[in-house]
């Protein structure tokens, strides 16, 4: 068989590029969500992540993905009713942010400090109430 002398692309993307490149799509509505863009996968109509990771907020997904991993985020969302998914995403992003800021203690560090603060305030309040004569 003859061996073509033409230069062929060594890396072929998901969409073969032998024809001229298509013009950039002006349809912003159809742009992939931040999650699918970062994961380099097709963002379908039924994308479970799209409602919570808009393309305008890529950091939100990057942070959650780095700590929990995309598959765990998807799994958790699929186990929840849609009405609770936004809260779950926000709490995961918050938690992941805490873990990135404090890789050793994460949210647990904040809980520890708040628990100490509660104890101290309770002690001060009890003391004040004794002074008042409660």
Which residues in this chain contact its own copies in the complex, by CB under 8 A? 66-69, 71-72, 76, 79-80, 84, 87-88, 90-92, 94-95, 98-99, 103-111, 114-115, 117-118, 121-122, 124-125, 128-129, 131-132
Which residue lies nearer to its own copies by CB, 17 or 125?
125
Query: Shortest gap between Cβ of 31 and its own copies (angstroms)?
Result: 28
Which residue lies nearer to its own copies by CB, 46 or 134?
134
Which residue lies nearer to its own copies by CB, 43 or 77?
77
Who's near 112: CB < 8 A, 6+ residues apart? 105
Q: What's the CA gap between 18 and 16, in Å, rounded?
A: 6
Kindly report each contact of residues 67-71 with a partner whose C-beta sits within 8 Å and lies 24 or more positions away, as own/partner.
Answer: 67/92, 67/95, 67/96, 67/99, 67/100, 68/92, 68/96, 70/35, 70/39
Query: Shortest gap between Cβ of 23 and its own copies (angstroms)?
Result: 26
Query: Shortest gap between Cβ of 85 and its own copies (angstroms)?
Result: 9
Which residue lies nearer to its own copies by CB, 17 or 127?
127
Query: Shortest gap between Cβ of 48 and its own copies (angstroms)?
Result: 15
Q: Based on the number of CB atoms within 10 Å of its own CB, is 106 exposed (0-12), middle (13-18) or buried (19 or more)?
A: middle
Q: What's the CA gap between 42 and 40, in Å, rounded?
A: 7
């Amino acid at each position: 068989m003859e061996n073509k002398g033409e230069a062929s692309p060594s890396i072929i993307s998901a969409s073969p590029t032998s024809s001229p490149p298509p013009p950039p799509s002006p349809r912003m509505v159809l742009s992939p969500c931040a999650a699918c863009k970062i994961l380099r996968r097709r963002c379908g109509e039924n994308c479970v992540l799209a409602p919570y990771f808009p393309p305008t907020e890529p950091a939100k997904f990057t942070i959650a993905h780095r700590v929990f991993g995309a598959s765990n985020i998807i799994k958790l969302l699929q186990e929840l009713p849609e009405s609770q998914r936004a809260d779950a995403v926000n709490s995961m992003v918050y938690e992941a942010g805490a873990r990135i800021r404090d890789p050793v203690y994460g949210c647990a560090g904040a809980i520890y400090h708040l628990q100490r603060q509660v104890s101290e305030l309770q002690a001060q309040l009890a003391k004040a109430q004794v002074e008042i004569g409660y």
